[in-house]
Amino acid sequence: MKKSAQAGAAMMLAFALIGCSGVSFTVHSAEDEAPLVTEEEAEGRMIADGPYGRLSIKVPEKWECTAYPMDNDLMTYGEYGFVLHPEDANEGDLEIICDNDFAVCGTNLDTEETVIAGRHAHIGTYNNSTYWDFITIGEEGPQIIAMHTICDSWTDEMWNAAMAVIEDARLNTAAKKGCVWEYAPESENLDAGVSMDLFEVSPTGAEVRIFRFGGDEDDEVSYGQLFTLEKKNEDGWEELPVIAEDAIFTEEAYIVPFNESSELITDWEWLYGVLPSGTYRMKKTVTVKCGGNSDQFDLYAQFIVEAPEVKKTYDGMFRTYYKMDDGTWLCDGHYYNYRLEISGRMNNAAKDSTFVYLSNIEDIPFDRAVMASGLSSDLDDYFDADEAVFVGWSD
C-alpha cells in the first residue's frame, strides 16, 4: 500500500497549532462501530472472509497459521485463505484456500473421488507421489482447496494433522464479504490478443489492467478513461444509472505495449455511488490502429460485490466516508472497524483539537494523529491505507 499525506488546509492548521511535547489526549470511538465476535471466532477458529463465504479452520497445536484476505498476492493459488506450517518442520506449508474456478494441469495427474467429512471431494496426485498434491472439497465452485509446498521433512504425524485441518475446514456461504474479478469470455478479444481484468476491486472502484498477449506487434492498441458499469439481473445485463449529472471523461489515450499491460486506477463512486451486493461488469472500449486503419471493440470485466449496505454518509473535510449496516466504516475502498475521535491540546494552542480517523487500530496516540494528518515530512509517520485514514476534524 502506498502511504499518503494530507496537504493544503491540513498542513496550514497543523502549523498554526504545532507544539512539541506535553500534550494530553483522549480517544473516542463512535458508538456501535466495532463488529461483534463471529461464531467461528468464539469457537476458537481462525477465519478468512471473502466474496464466496467465510472460510474457517482449527489450527493444530505446534502449528503456525496466517490468514490472508482477498488480493493478498502471497498465496500459491486461490483468492483468500490460510497458510499453515508445523513448527518442528524444516520446510513446507499447507494452504487452505477458497476458489470459484480451480484448474490444474492434467499431465501425470491421478485423481480419486472420495468423501471428506460428508462432502464430495477429489484427491489429486502427480507422478505417483507418496502423498497427495491437492484436495478439492465441493461438487462445484466455490470450493475449499488444500495444497502444499515441498514437505519432505514432514512426519506421518504432521500429515495426519494436516488432514484433520482439511476435514474440519468450513465454508459458510451465507457470510459473504468482499469483491472479486471473475473471468468471462467477454473479457478478451482473441483476434486482437487483448484482455481486461480487475484488481483490488471494492464497492467504490478497482484497478483496471489491459493486457496484450497476441495480435500484430506493429499495431497500436489504446484505451481511455471512459467506462460504463452494468449489473446482472434475471434478464441479463442492465446499465447502471449515473448519479453525476453531465458527467465528463477526459480524453487521454493509454497505449498498451506488445506483450505488456497497462494499469489504470478507476474510481466509480463519483459516477455510480457505492455499489450494493451483486454481480457487475465494466465495459471499456479498446482501439486498434494499423497503418491508416482503425478498429474498435468492447471488453467486459465481470466482478462480484458482497458488501454491507450503506447506513449513513458522512462528508468529511477531506473525504466522503460511510457507516455500513454491519458496524464497519468504508472510505476509498477500504473497510475499517473503528471511527476514532482523538483529542488533545498542542503547545501554544488556545483549545483542544479533535482529529477524526477511520481505523483498524483501536487506539492512535494524539501525537501520531497530528503528524499523520499532513504535518510530517517523514512518510513513516503516515498510515497504510488498510490501517487508518484521516478524514478531518471534529468541532
- Catalogue all structural domains in the chain, each as residue range(s) with its CATH number: 9-35+309-393 (no CATH), 39-172 (3.40.1000), 178-306 (2.60.40)
Enter the C-alpha cell of residue 288. 486498434
- What's the pLDDT tens digit per position in 157-172? 999 999 999 999 999 9
Q: Which segments of the chain have a pLDDT < 70?
A: 1-36
Start-to-end CA distance of the chain, whole Å, equals 31
pLDDT the model gives residue 71: 81
Phi/psi-derived region of residue 75, left when phi > 0, alpha when psi is between -120 and 50, beta in every other case: beta
Q: Which residues contact 260 (CB under 8 A, 6 or more apart)?
A: 211, 212
Which residue shows C-alpha cell 477526459? Answer: 250
Residue where the block lists cell 485423481: 111
Owner of C-alpha cell 496426485: 125
What's residue 308's pLDDT? 92
> What's the CA gap between 3 and 334, in Å, rounded?
14
Phi and psi of 16, rounded to 5°?
-70, -30
Q: Which of 218, 366, 209 is nearest to 286 (CA)?
A: 209
- pLDDT, tens digit, 9 for 90 and up, residues 218-262: 999 999 999 999 999 999 999 999 998 888 899 899 999 999 999
pLDDT in tens, 18-51: 443 444 444 545 445 445 677 888 889 999 999 9
- Residue 394 has what pLDDT? 85
